[in-house]
Amino acid sequence: MMNYTKYIIASAIVFCAFQINAQTVLTKEDAIKQTLEHNYGIKVAKNNVEVAKNNSSVFNTGKLPIVSSSAGANYNKSNQDIIRQDGSETNVTGAETRSFNASINLNYTLFDGLGRKYNYKSLKETYNLTELQARETIENTYLQLFTTYFQVAQLTENTNNLEETLNISKRRLERAKYQYDYGQSTRLELLNAEVDVNNDSINLLDARQQLTNAKRNLNMVMGTNQGVNYNVETTVDFVELLSFTELLKRTKVNNVVLQQNDKNIAISKYNIKANKANYLPSIGLTSSYGWNKSVNPSTSFLAESSNRGLNAGLNLSWNLFDGGTTKTRVANAKITLENQEILKEQQLNVVENTLTNTWEDYHNKLFIYKAQQRNLDTATDNFNRTNEKYKLGQVTSIEFRQSQINLINAQTALNTAKYNAKIKELELLQLSGEILNNQLY
């Protein structure tokens, strides 16, 4: 039963190794491109921008005139009894009256207290706000993308290290078999070697399953269904960041959330002015060109009449008192502006605090990364020395195994520290509004 289990594990490892050899490399640039094209959240954000663009068009501002046309026809048939002033009488059965009309009408507001002007500016700022909201969605998606991408990279390196660990354990098992066959070691040494091979095989299978799951998560972020038969880049380059003071200055200017606060403040100011426009009169122009024709029965003074011509006029309306509705709207708009300014101040404090914490955390993680590099160098040197001594029979298999475990732990810790530091760097870039710069990866 144990031999069958080892056969299954070995077969699975060989199959996975064959699959990995046939994989292509998904670069960071390719991942970004696919995400921008297929990510569902980004698609929705782009559609929202298009809606805001349509709303900010001149066709949605009331600045253009309204032109309409109308036409009609009427028919009437009735019995008429007519008594004239001189006493004469006329009776008509089935008297028919037909009338026709057609006109083109124009209505245009010449002045509305500048309400249209400020509504238009408000719509433009709303469009800009929606663009910033879309940018925030893209920035968050970028961070999610690279968090998942680097998780795949980390698991890839961990898997490679576990493969090397398994190969070392297999060579140790082979050596233990020879030593046992020639009476140079006990069966306990052989069994320990077999157990370590099985444990390393299980750890490798578990790591590969985690890697497969992480690739599927990466596909979800990208919005694609390309399977898991690909590798990712495992090279990590750290960006030379500005000083904290300069980074804070750039953050206050470029941070997408703070920019949205600025747009909300601008919109609130325009809303105040648009509401104040109701205090002023409204002047409108009306014009029409019409045609009318009427065919009358014999009882009518005119048998037929028609007319056509141009009609134009100006009208003025002014709400001298609207019950306080405009006053209430202006007051509420001012309160809304005050709230937006308060939110801007609050958000600025939040961003500064987050930037400070992230900055310190980033440098701590860089220190840990460098320390783990030194630990790995020590663990590697220790393992190499222990391996040589093991071949000479100067250390036990337990000591060798412990040295091997120390090495894989150091490798795993280094990978974790490296990618944790990179993720913190990306968070700093997002806060400072630089995360969309593809040259930073």
The per-residue DSSP string of 25-91 comes to EE-HHHHHHHHHHH-HHHHHHHHHHHHHHHHTSGGGTT-S-EEEEEEEEEEEEEEEEEE-TTS-EEE
Assess contact for 223 and 40: CB atoms under 8 A: yes
C-alpha torsion angle, residues 152, 158, 163, 169 (rounded to 10):
-160
What Cα–Cα distance (Å) separates residue 24 from each residue in 20, 78, 225? 9, 89, 15
Separation CA 136–CA 433 (nearest Å): 9
Instruction: Tell me the torsion sign for CA atoms 389, 394, 398, 402.
Output: negative
* pLDDT tens-digit profile, the chain (441 residues): 434 444 444 444 444 444 444 579 999 999 999 999 999 999 999 999 999 999 999 888 888 999 999 999 888 877 777 776 676 777 777 777 888 899 999 999 999 888 999 999 999 999 999 999 999 999 999 999 999 999 999 999 999 999 999 999 999 889 888 888 887 777 888 898 899 999 999 999 999 999 999 999 999 999 999 899 999 999 999 988 889 999 999 999 999 999 999 999 999 999 999 999 999 999 999 999 998 888 777 666 667 778 888 999 999 999 889 899 999 999 999 999 999 999 999 999 999 999 999 999 999 999 999 999 999 999 999 999 999 998 888 988 889 999 999 999 999 999 999 999 999 999 999 999 999 986 656
The Cα–Cα gap between 278 and 324 comes to 11
Single out the residue of 220, 216, 232 nearest to residue 26, CA to CA: 232
| Residue whose pair of structure tokens reads 């354990």 in the numeric block | 169
CB atoms within 10 A of CB 139: 21
Give the Cα separation of 312 and 106 in Å (integer): 9
Question: What is the chain's length?
Answer: 441
- CA dihedral sign, ordered 293, 299, 300, 304: positive
